[in-house]
Amino acid sequence: MAIDHPPLPYPKEALAPVISAATLEFHWGKHHKAYVDNANRLLEGTPWAEAAPEAVMKATFGEAAHGAIFNNVAQAWNHTFYWHSLKPNGGGRPTGPVADLINAAWGSYDAFAEALKQAGIGQFGSGWAWLVLDGETLKVTRTPNAENPLVHGQKPLLTIDVWEHAYYLDYQNRRPDYLAAVIEKLLNWDFANANLGR
């Protein structure tokens, strides 16, 4: 099964001014595509050449001999998940079942939003901030580099990319401003609710 580089779920300019078309041109068009191309090249002739990305990630995570496969397959998967975690005119307070679970876990949306922002700020170097379902409870987690919650048995609901290429053209070194803007204006709660029901 080839790793896909799917089209963005919205036009490149649709997330502006929070994320510019120029950032998406580089991030989706070059970084994401490079992960996909590398993953497909590395998978050729391996036992995972026809496997689903989730199976490849679980089989190769933590295996030094297969680090490049894991990193590129996971980054391809993470990026596709990230694009769907955002939507034009999104963000703000959630609705649906995820809203009730957020209130149960954090007591309020504001407390959750701060926890997610701090997860992204606190991720040293490159990585991801996630909203996950862990058993029956929502949690905010962060992962380094290409790592994601699937390899820890958690169900990802939303993610925010905190690699510098996700925000540097628009925010330079102001990662907290990028995180605040994405949380307030772009998070796709419909996607989170759909993932919750899967």
3-state helix, strand, coil in the chain (%, to 5): 55, 15, 35
What residue ranges do the domains of the chain occupy? 21-85, 97-196
Residues 70-89 have pLDDT tens digits of: 999 999 999 999 999 999 99
Percentage of residues in the chain having pLDDT higher than 70: 99
**Residue 46 structure tokens:** 């391996």
Mean predicted lDDT score pLDDT of the chain = 96
Cα–Cα–Cα angle for 79, 18, 124, rounded to 5 degrees? 55
81: closest CA among 181, 178, 154, 134? 154
Q: What is the pLDDT of residue 64?
A: 82
Contacts with 145 (C-beta within 8 Å, 6 or more apart), sequence order: 71, 125, 126, 127
Cα–Cα–Cα angle for 22, 28, 188, rounded to 5 degrees? 95
Which CATH superfamily groups domain 21-85?
Answer: Fe,Mn superoxide dismutase (SOD) domain (1.10.287.990)
State the architecture of 97-196 in CATH terms. 3-Layer(bab) Sandwich (3.55)
Q: Would you say the C-alpha torsion 56, 32, 13, 86 has a positive or negative sign?
A: positive
- The verdict on pTM exceeding 0.95 is yes
Q: What is the pLDDT of residue 63?
A: 84
Residues 85-137 have pLDDT tens digits of: 999 999 999 999 999 999 999 999 999 999 999 999 999 999 999 999 999 99
Q: What is the pLDDT of residue 156?
A: 98
Q: What is the pLDDT of residue 1?
A: 65
CA atoms of 103 and 116, how far apart (whole Å): 14
Residue 132: count other Cβ atoms within 10 Å of its Cβ.
22
H or E, element range at 27: none
DSSP code of 92?
S
